[in-house]
Structure 1
Amino acid sequence: MISSLQLKNFVAFTDLAIEFSPGINIIIGENGTGKTQLLKAILALCGPEVRAEQPGEQLASKLCRLYQPLSGRVGELRRNGSRGEAVLRAEFAQGQQLTVRFNGSASAVKIPKVLGPAIAPATFLPTKEVLSLVRGLTAEQPDFATIERIFDDGYLDLANQLTREGTEDLGSKVRLNPRFASIVPRLANLIGGQYLLVKGRFVFQPGQYQENKAPTRTSEANNALMYQDSTEWRFIPASKKCLSSTMTAEGFRKIGVLQRLLSNGCLNPGASGPLLWDEPESNLNPKLMKDLVLALLELARNGQQVILATHDYVLLKWFDLLLDKKGKGDQVRFHVLSREAETGQVLLDTMDDYRAIEPNAIAETFNELTKEQVARKMGGLGK
């Protein structure tokens, strides 16, 4: 879990310092204010490269594969026109502190040894879905030169996580662990089925989870014994026939990514690193937003830090309406990025109340649309 991040003279940022909630963090901002760049910085700083034998070279290479500078050198990621070194500084929940520095001509970064326990790797979900791309991105004899020209490392990291084998199947986790029983059935029933990895490619199995009366629990179900639930969830296939993932909606595939990561343990609330999601609303029907927000809130309630970037009013408003600050201790923090007109510097404003966002360009745009619609219906009445 990341506690704070400072970016100085790095890509879009002159000097930005951000304090993260351990729960859900929502980054808002117009195009070009650096939302995706911020998520990628967190991904890099949580990666294994910081503890490699040659961390300066390894992390520089990682940053280049994520941001793809034209020169292929990390020095190009120092903000244009800035003086002094680029600095990335992060603090983590278990006390780890990490500082990365480099100048404008650097091919490697300067990074001191990181003390303390290992930093849990982050999971990054890019704007486009990845399930249908996994077969090509993880082929036995891939053309890496071509793949890396098309996809940055955010896509490749996620493809490798999705194909990772888990120690338990998702059905067992749902039956035995109330954390998963509160999340997975909602996701599966939202899209009408589940995605399975079969021979290196993802297929979709139609069906739904049903809540049935549970048999007497045995001692192996330690987590469930704590709760003594009287019911349990089981996935009931609608048919034996599966579909290729590419025959399902892209919005469904994005939700399927969460299913798979929960299944194989790459996403393990309470233990895994932050979940970074860039525009979860992309290609997602607005009708699905409420259930997606409920699933993300459940993830956070079970110890999963979530950091997402969005432009979507519906998604933002559902977070505002559904969070429960008192009963369940929901912690949702809004981080608003804006660009100063005169200097071009990216500024940050942080608040824990959605209604405190001022100005709120997303809400104002939605209100303008509503007013225009009302005006057309009313015609010239009142003029």
Structure 2
Amino acid sequence: MLNSLTIKNFTAFADAEFSFSPGLNVLIGANGTGKTHILKLGYLFSRAWPDLTRSKLRLDKKRTDPYMEERLAGLFRVSELASLVRQGHKNGASLAADIGGSIPTLIITVPGEQIPLPSPNEPMAWEIHLTHIKNHPAQVESIRIPESAATNAFVPKAIFVPSKEIVSLFKGLIGLFENYRQFPLDETYKDLAVALATLEPAAPSPLLPGVAQRIAALLGGELRLEDNNLIFLQDNGRKLESQLLAEGYRKLAMLIYLVRNRVIEAGSTVFWDEPEANLNPAALRLLVEALRQMVCQGVQVILATHSLFLLREFEVLGRTKDLPKIPERYFALNTTKKGVEVSAGDDIVSIDPLVLLDEDQAQSDRFMETLA
């Protein structure tokens, strides 16, 4: 789980801090305010511990530095890390994050005994400095890493869903990344393709039982992995190439696929860039309901959006008496001469400025003028 993120002199940010909720987190701002950059940085640190400890080797700065350099270049798709440092700042950039891990615990109970508390938490603090010396390539220097964390500490899966859909591009995508260094997509697409290649587990996922059925009914089927390709299996048993499915529906089908295959499960963090893209209002309502239910079942959701409809739908569900309350956090990003400034609050009305509402009101005024 991503608890906090601090950014100094990185891309559009001079000095920004984000404290995330364990539930729903929404980033709002005009183009160029760095919403996607925040998602990618959160994803970078959320994946660091699982990636670096997969080989069972001891975590140290000697291994962390090249990993961070490679991942920053891959996630942001830059040839020089120096381009990530905010212009005019020769001392480089600083990035820090607090990730919540846990220590696996074996729980044995007898019938009728109260279930004990969850596994103990294992906080993981990361801090890196991106140095930038004139006439030299930028380098990453690890300032803090969780090297004292328990060797069996566990950080649940993090998944990044980019703004462009990937289902229609899935076949052969992993190989293209491995064979072509200049492939024109960042590594979030490769990571998602690897996640989509996961085989379906024997035990069904407990997440989204009701919403998943309604989404499948809307789509008329579901995605399946066959012969290293994603196909759409229709309710009538016929197979449809995923490219023939509407783009917005491919995104909905992908979400259910990731849940069904337990890529997304309780404890996971989902980073989603513009989930509203190419979805009609009816489908978007189902997506919002699905994301909210995932939060209720222990999934952390961090998304960036331009959609006022999506924001209002979250607010409508939050005000519905029959639905449980969820932890929420909203962030409004605004470009100033000093860099991007961040306003944060636990609901939409407490953040300022909210460009979406301003533009919506301005459009309403213009529309009324045409009727006069």
Normalising by the smaller structure, the TM-score range is: 0.7 to 0.9
AA aligned opposite 2:154? A
Per-residue CA deviation, residues 67-120 of structure 1 (Å, 9 max, x unaligned), is 12233xx34322221243421111123311111122014334325441432333
Instruction: Indicate how the Cα distance of structure 1 residues 55 and 118 shifts in structure 2: closer, same or farther if over 3 A, else same.
Output: farther
Report the equivalent of 1:109. Answer: 141
AA aligned opposite 1:262? V
Instruction: Indicate how the Cα distance of structure 1 residues 320 and 314 shifts in structure 2: closer, same or farther if over 3 A, else same.
Output: same
1:323 Cα deviation from its structure 2 partner: 1.4
Structure 1 stretches lacking a partner, 5+ long: 207-236
For residue 154 of structure 1, the aligned residue among 157, 182, 188 is: 188
For residue 55 of structure 1, the aligned residue among 57, 64, 74 is: 64
Kindly report which structure 2 residues correspond to 1:117-136, keeping only aligned pairs within 5 A, or say none. Answer: 117-136=153-172
Per-residue CA deviation, residues 232-288 of structure 1 (Å, 9 max, x unaligned), is xxxxx2x121100000000011112211111211100x232x100000111111232
**Which whole-Å CA distance do the structure 1 matches of 2:11 and 2:181 have between them?**
24
1:325 Cα deviation from its structure 2 partner: 8.4
TM-score between both structures, scaled by the size of structure 1: 0.81
**Which whole-Å CA distance do the structure 1 matches of 2:183 and 2:167 have between them?**
19
For residue 267 of structure 1, the aligned residue among 247, 264, 274 is: 264
1:145 Cα deviation from its structure 2 partner: 4.7
TM-score between both structures, scaled by the size of structure 2: 0.83
Identity %: 30
Report the equivalent of 2:296. Answer: 301
Report the equivalent of 2:113. Answer: none
Cα RMSD after superposing both structures? 2.1
1:190 Cα deviation from its structure 2 partner: 3.3
Kindly report which structure 2 residues correspond to 1:231-380, keeping only aligned pairs within 5 A, or say none. Answer: 237=235, 239-268=236-265, 270-272=266-268, 274-324=269-319, 328-340=324-336, 342-343=337-338, 345-376=339-370, 378-379=371-372
The total of aligned residue pairs comes to: 333
- Structure 1 residue ranges (4+ consecutive) displaced by more than 3 angstroms after TM superposition: 48-53, 142-148, 324-327
Instruction: Indicate how the Cα distance of structure 1 residues 122 and 325 shifts in structure 2: closer, same or farther if over 3 A, else same.
Output: farther
For residue 88 of structure 1, the aligned residue among 82, 95, 106 is: 95
Instruction: Indicate how the Cα distance of structure 1 residues 185 and 146 shifts in structure 2: closer, same or farther if over 3 A, else same.
Output: same
Kindly report which structure 2 residues correspond to 1:13-92, keeping only aligned pairs within 5 A, or say none. Answer: 13-47=13-47, 48-51=50-53, 54-71=63-80, 74-92=81-99
Per-residue CA deviation, residues 7-43 of structure 1 (Å, 9 max, x unaligned), is 1122221111000011100000111110001111111
**Which whole-Å CA distance do the structure 2 matches of 1:166 and 1:97 have between them?**
33
1:167 Cα deviation from its structure 2 partner: 1.9
AA aligned opposite 1:339? T
Kept in 2: contact 1:91–1:98 (CA 8 A):
yes
**Which whole-Å CA distance do the structure 1 matches of 2:181 and 2:253 have between them?**
23
